[in-house]
Structure 1
Amino acid sequence: MTPDEAVVGCTGKLTIGTRGAGGPGEVLVRVRGGTETFLAYSDEPLARGETVLVIESRGSRQVAVMAWHDPLLDPPEGGDGGFAH
């Protein structure tokens, strides 16, 4: 079970939601100029269609993910992009 370090730091979309401790889901990850699917594990349940960040490769096409919101595409509430005036 060799980890796939190329996938760590990539984002993807859950095609099957994760169940936290209840089991994995599936994520479609943009990597190596295309997309690949992996079993996705997370600490908390995450819904199908949610954007996630791969934080760990567990080998054998298994990854750990967390919810991800792109700060450039989804600025924080307040509309100033997080910058003080």
Structure 2
Amino acid sequence: MVRDDAVFGCTGVLLIGTRGAAGPGEVLVRVRGGSEAFLAWSAEPLPARTTVLVIESRGNRQVDVMEWADPLDASPGDAD
């Protein structure tokens, strides 16, 4: 199993929600100047269309992800 270090720290969107320990979903990751699909594992279930951050590569086109909200994408009305 070869790690894919290029995906570490990349963001993506879940195409198929994850099920936590019960199984993976699928994520479309922005990497290498394009987008690539990977099996996505997370500690807690996450629904489809969730924006995620890749926190680890398992190799064999599998990654660990966590929910991610880019602080630079906050709209002006969000700051109080």
TM-score range, shorter chain: over 0.9
Hey, what does 1:19 align to over in structure 2? 19
Task: Indicate the percent of aligned positions where both proteins have the same amino acid.
Answer: 68
Counterparts of 1:46-61 in structure 2, within 5 Å, are 46-61=46-61
Q: State how many pairs are aligned.
A: 79
Compute the TM-score of the two structures, normalised by the length of structure 1: 0.88
Deviation per residue, 1:14-55 (Å, 9 max, x gap): 000000011000000000000000000000000100000000
Distance 2:57 2:78 in 1: 35
Counterparts of 1:1-85 in structure 2, within 5 Å, are 1-74=1-74, 79-80=79-80
Distance apart, 1:61 and its partner CA: 0.1
Tell me how large the CA RMSD over aligned residues is.
Answer: 1.4
Which contiguous aligned blocks of 4+ residues in structure 1 show a shift greater than 3 angstroms?
none
| Counterpart residue identity of residue 57, structure 2 | S
Distance apart, 1:78 and its partner CA: 5.8
Distance 1:12 1:25 in 2: 12
Distance apart, 1:74 and its partner CA: 2.5
- Structure 2 residue runs of 5 or longer lacking an equivalent are none
Greater helix share, 1 or 2?
Answer: 2
